[in-house]
Amino acid sequence: MPPPSLLEATSSISFEKGSLNRFTTHITHDWCTQHSVLGGYLVALTLSAAHKYLDTELTKNKYSDSIHIFTQFLHMVPPGPVSISCRTLSTTSRLCVVQVTLEPAHPQPPPLKEPKAQESPACIAIATFADLSKETGLTLSTPILPTPLPNREIECLTINDPIIDSTPVTRKLNWVAPRSAYGLWGHRLGGHNREVWLSFEDGSKIDDLQVLAFLADLPLQPPATHTPPAIFYSRHALSTLCISVEFKKRPGPNTKCVLVRSNSQQVVRGRYDVDVQILDENGGVLVLSRHVVFVLGLRGRI
């Protein structure tokens, strides 16, 4: 039996007994990097919980689309059971804002034993919901011509670097990118700009905003543009502090491949920003995202 797709996994949440705003689910190792669950998977999971909460708390489908989510990561999340809670912060005729808190779930202590002190949550998200099909208002055309997308068939190759096979979550994707003359992948535009075409290895469609939230955390990392990936990742570990994801439009129902562009304005003193764009095959902007990431040196490595 094949492992569940992303949407099958994130939709497997269930209500805690007697609650309308708390959920539980089990995260498998499939969605992990080398040391913990991928942040983008946690973002997709919190969106799934918030949608399920809104379907019971408010009129179903009144706020059918997430238009933005900000997630602050406080602790790494290992695979295993997690608990998710939701509460409404604000509602208007157009928008609904929900706070989502995720923490590892622990078994209840025996009645005669004192419970441990409450742990802080692993991540807190603020998600804003609306209906993308009903958005109206000021619209301006982009004054600067965008950079043409790299042709997948002519300009790109499948990335065959061992780093792609080094974690369960990266093995779920096909990575196709231009390769520069000096051997770096996705570095066609120079500087800290990277670009890669992503699709799922199992052929799953990219037809939901939760999937875009997941992919927003899988760019080619901008700082890894000065050394081969194997050397970079043997010397450094990355830890994401926070992710902001804005959804511009829904992907088409048959979308199976998107281009993820990433860039960094500054890599300074072990901290850097990542600006991410996710584009459809016609160059339409689906997602704008921004990350703050720490770079940690690995001890014992030269």
Q: What are phi and psi of 54, to 5 degrees?
A: -65, -30
Q: Which residues contact 284 (CB under 8 A, 6 or more apart)?
A: 249
Phi, psi of 53 (to 5 degrees): -65, -45
In this structure, CATH architecture of domain 1-107+120-132: Roll (3.10)
The pLDDT of residue 301: 41
Query: Alpha-carbon distance 64 to 95, whole Å?
Result: 10
Contact 89, 26 (CB under 8 A): no
Whole-structure pTM value: 0.90
Q: What torsion do the CA atoms of 259, 30, 205, 135 make, to the nearest 10 degrees?
A: -70
Contacts of 190 (CB under 8 A, 6+ apart): none
SS3 59: coil
Q: What is the largest CA-CA distance in the chain?
A: 68
pLDDT (tens digit per residue) in 101-130? 999 987 655 555 555 555 679 999 999 999
Mean pLDDT for 2-27 is 93
Percent of the residues in the chain that have a pLDDT greater than 90, as a whole number: 59
Q: Which of 177, 184, 261 is nearest to 229 (CA)?
A: 184
For residues 144 and 285, which has the higher predicted lDDT (pLDDT)? 285
CA distances to 73, 74, 244 from 124, rounded to whole Å, are 7, 8, 12
**What's the pLDDT score for residue 145?**
59
Q: Would you kindly state where each structural domain of the chain is located, as residue ranges? A: 1-107+120-132, 148-302
For 39-83, write each residue's pLDDT tens digit. Answer: 999 999 999 999 999 988 765 668 889 999 999 999 999 999 999
Classified by CATH at the fold level, domain 148-302 comes out as Porin (2.40.160)
What value does the mean pLDDT of the chain take?
Answer: 87
* Averaged pLDDT, 174-193: 81
pLDDT score for 112: 53
**pLDDT for position 207:** 94
Q: What is the pLDDT of residue 230?
A: 66
Q: Are 286 and 278 in contact (CB under 8 A)?
A: yes
Question: Which of these ranges, 73-77, 180-184, 257-261, has the smallest mean pLDDT?
Answer: 180-184
Q: pLDDT by residue (tens digit) across 129-163?
A: 999 988 888 888 776 557 889 999 999 999 887 88
What is the average per-residue pLDDT within 24-36? 92
